[in-house]
C-alpha cells in the first residue's frame, strides 16, 4: 500500500538566514512520500535566492505583495495536495522522523484530527535544548477536552500534523489574527476530531528577537489580539456546556500571560508600555492585584526614586516566572497509547 502524501507547508517572510536549515529539515525526512510547498510573502532579503537552490525539490510560490502570515499559510495549503499537513514556519526545524511518527499515529487512529509531538527549543546559537513534555504519557485525548486546554495554552505549528479534511472543515487559518492564530486553529480542529499526543520530540522551535511573538510584544496589541482569539473560541463553543464553564478561567489566564510578557517589556526598558501591560493584566484578572509578581513589577514600573530597570534587575530572581519543569496528566477521558 502506498504511503499517504504529506505536505510540508512553509510560509516565509524575510527569514533568509534560517530558511536553508528549515528546507533541509523538510527534505531530510525519513518518510519518502512528501511534498514541500514554500510561499514567500514578497521578502526583501535573500529568501528567494535561497529557495531557488531547491527548485528541483520543492514547489515555490511568491506573493507579488506582502499578504501576511495567515494568508500565506492558507495559500501554501491551497497549493498542496497531501492527505496530511504540517505548517512549518521558516525559522523552525523538523526532526528527521517527524512525518514518520505523526503519520503512524494518524493512520492508526482515524478519529484523530491532530497528531502532536513534543518540541525542542533553540536560539540564535542553534544549540537545541529539551523541554519538559506537556503530558506525562502518550495518549489519545477527546477533542472537546483538549479544546478546553487550547483555551489556556497551545502547541506550536511545527509540533502538529493535521488531517487536511479536519483543517478544511475548521475553515483553515483565520486571516484576521496573527497572535495565537495557531491556538485558534487547533481549537477549531479539536471541536471536530480527537487529538493524539506523543512525548517524543519531533521538531525544534527557534526563539529570537525577530520572530512574530517578539515583534508583537513591543505593543499592547499583542494581548488584545490574544483576547480576541479567545473571544472567537467562546463564540464557536457557546453551545457546548462543558467548555462554557471554563470561559472565566481562560480570561484570567490571559491576565497571567500578560504579566509574563511584561518581563520582556521591562528588559527592553519600555516602562510606559510596561505600565500598560500591568493595567491590562489587572483588567483581565483583578485578583492579580494580590499577586507577588504583579506587585513587584508595579513597584519597579512606578518608582520615582530609583531607576525602574535597576530595581527590576535587583528583584528579577524573585519575580521571573520559572519555566515549566513538570508534565500534566492528560484530560479526563484520555487513554494511553504505545
Is-contact 176 65, C-beta < 8 A? no
Give percent of the chain with pLDDT exceeding 70: 97
Q: Which residue has the higher pLDDT, 321 or 243?
A: 243
The distance between the two most distant Cα atoms of the chain, rounded to a whole number of Å, is 73
In the predicted model, what is the mean pLDDT of residues 114-133?
A: 90
Q: In the predicted model, what is the mean pLDDT of the chain? A: 93
pTM: predicted TM-score of the whole model, two decimal places: 0.94
Question: Model confidence over 222-256: pLDDT tens digits?
Answer: 899 999 999 999 999 999 999 999 999 999 999 99
Give the pLDDT confidence score for residue 210 in this predicted structure: 63
Give the pLDDT confidence score for residue 167 in this predicted structure: 98
Q: Is the pLDDT of residue 9 over 90?
A: yes
Give the pLDDT confidence score for residue 218 in this predicted structure: 65
Q: Is the pLDDT of residue 213 over 70?
A: no
SS3 letters across the chain: CCCCCEEEEEEECCCHHHHHHHHHHHHCCCCCCEEEEEEECCCCCCHHHHHHCCCCCCEEEECCCCCCHHHHHHHHHHCCCCCEEEECCCCCEECCCHHHHHHHHHHHCCCEEEEEEEEEEECCCCCCEECCCCECCCEEECHHHHHHHHCCCCCCHHHEEEEHHHHHHCCCCCCCCCCCHHHHHHHHHHCCCEEEEEEEEEEEEECCCCCHHHHHCCCCHHHHHHHHHHHHHHHHCCCCHHHHCCHHHHHHHHHHHHHHHHHHHHHCCCHHHHHHHHHHHHHHCHHHHHCHHHHHHHHHHCCCCCCHHHHHHHHHHHHCCCCCCCCECCCCCCEECC
User: End-to-end CA distance of the chain, in Å?
Assistant: 23
Cell of 326: 513538570
Give the pLDDT confidence score for residue 295 in this predicted structure: 93
Give the pLDDT confidence score for residue 207 in this predicted structure: 86
Give the pLDDT confidence score for residue 212 in this predicted structure: 52
Give percent of the chain with pLDDT exceeding 90: 82
Q: Is the pLDDT of residue 130 over 70?
A: yes
| Per-residue pLDDT band at 34 (split at 50, 70, 90) | very high
Give the pLDDT confidence score for residue 22 in this predicted structure: 97
| Per-residue pLDDT band at 211 (split at 50, 70, 90) | low
CA 262-145-103 angle, 5° bins = 95
| Per-residue pLDDT band at 63 (split at 50, 70, 90) | very high
Give the pLDDT confidence score for residue 215 in this predicted structure: 53
Give the pLDDT confidence score for residue 209 in this predicted structure: 67
Burial (Cβ within 10 Å: 0-12, 13-18, ≥19) of residue 232: middle
| Per-residue pLDDT band at 323 (split at 50, 70, 90) | confident
**Distance between CA 137 and CA 139 in Å, rounded?**
6
**Distance between CA 233 and CA 239 in Å, rounded?**
11
Q: Is the pLDDT of residue 182 over 60?
A: yes
In the predicted model, what is the mean pLDDT of residues 295-314?
A: 90
**Measured on CA atoms in the order 206, 212, 213, 218, is the torsion positive or negative?**
positive
Task: State the pairing for strand pair 34-40/6-12.
Answer: parallel
Give the pLDDT confidence score for residue 320 in this predicted structure: 72
Cell of 254: 490571559
Beta bridge partners of 240: none
Give the pLDDT confidence score for residue 77 in this predicted structure: 98
In the predicted model, what is the mean pLDDT of residues 61-75?
A: 96
Q: Which residue has the higher pLDDT, 84 or 122?
A: 84
**Distance between CA 128 and CA 133 in Å, rounded?**
15
Amino acid at each position: 500500500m502506498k504511503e499517504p502524501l504529506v505536505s510540508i507547508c512553509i510560509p516565509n517572510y524575510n527569514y533568509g538566514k534560517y530558511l536553508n536549515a528549515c528546507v533541509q529539515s523538510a527534505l531530510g525526512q525519513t518518510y519518502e512520500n512528501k511534498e514541500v510547498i514554500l510561499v514567500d510573502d514578497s521578502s526583501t532579503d535573500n529568501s528567494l535566492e535561497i529557495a531557488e537552490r531547491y527548485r528541483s525539490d520543492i514547489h515555490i510560490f511568491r506573493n507579488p505583495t506582502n499578504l501576511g502570515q495567515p494568508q500565506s499559510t492558507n495559500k501554501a495549503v491551497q497549493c498542496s495536495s497531501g492527505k496530511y499537513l504540517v505548517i512549518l514556519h521558516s525559522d523552525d526545524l523538523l526532526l528527521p522522523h517527524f512525518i514518520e511518527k505523526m503519520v503512524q499515529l494518524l493512520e492508526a487512529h482515524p478519529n484523530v484530527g491532530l497528531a502532536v509531538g513534543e518540541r525542542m527549543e533553540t536560539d540564535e546559537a542553534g544549540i537545541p535544548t529539551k523541554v519538559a513534555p506537556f503530558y506525562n504519557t502518550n495518549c489519545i485525548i477527546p477533542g472537546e477536552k483538549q479544546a478546553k486546554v487550547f483555551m489556556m495554552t497551545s502547541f506550536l505549528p511545527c509540533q502538529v500534523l493535521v488531517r487536511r479534511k479536519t483543517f478544511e472543515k475548521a475553515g483553515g487559518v483565520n486571516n484576521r489574527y496573527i497572535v495565537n492564530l495557531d491556538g485558534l486553529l487547533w481549537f477549531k480542529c479539536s471541536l471536530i476530531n480527537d487529538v493524539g499526543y506523543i512525548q517524543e520530540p519531533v521538531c525544534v522551535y527557534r526563539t529570537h528577537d525577530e520572530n512574530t511573538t517578539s515583534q508583537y510584544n513591543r505593543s499592547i496589541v499583542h494581548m488584545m489580539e490574544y483576547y480576541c482569539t479567545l473571544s472567537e473560541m467562546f463564540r464557536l463553543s457557546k453551545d457546548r456546556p462543558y467548555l462554557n464553564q471554563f470561559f472565566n478561567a481562560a480570561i484570567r489566564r490571559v491576565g497571567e500571560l500578560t504579566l509574563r510578557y511584561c518581563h520582556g517589556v521591562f528588559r527592553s526598558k519600555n516602562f510606559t508600555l510596561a505600565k500598560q501591560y500591568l493595567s491590562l493584566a489587572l483588567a483581565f484578572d483583578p485578583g492579580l492585584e494580590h499577586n507577588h509578581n504583579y506587585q513587584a513589577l508595579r513597584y519597579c514600573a512606578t518608582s520615582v526614586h530609583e531607576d525602574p530597570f535597576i530595581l527590576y534587575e535587583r528583584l528579577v530572581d524573585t519575580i521571573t516566572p520559572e519555566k515549566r519543569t513538570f508534565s500534566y496528566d492528560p484530560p479526563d477521558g484520555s487513554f494511553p497509547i504505545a
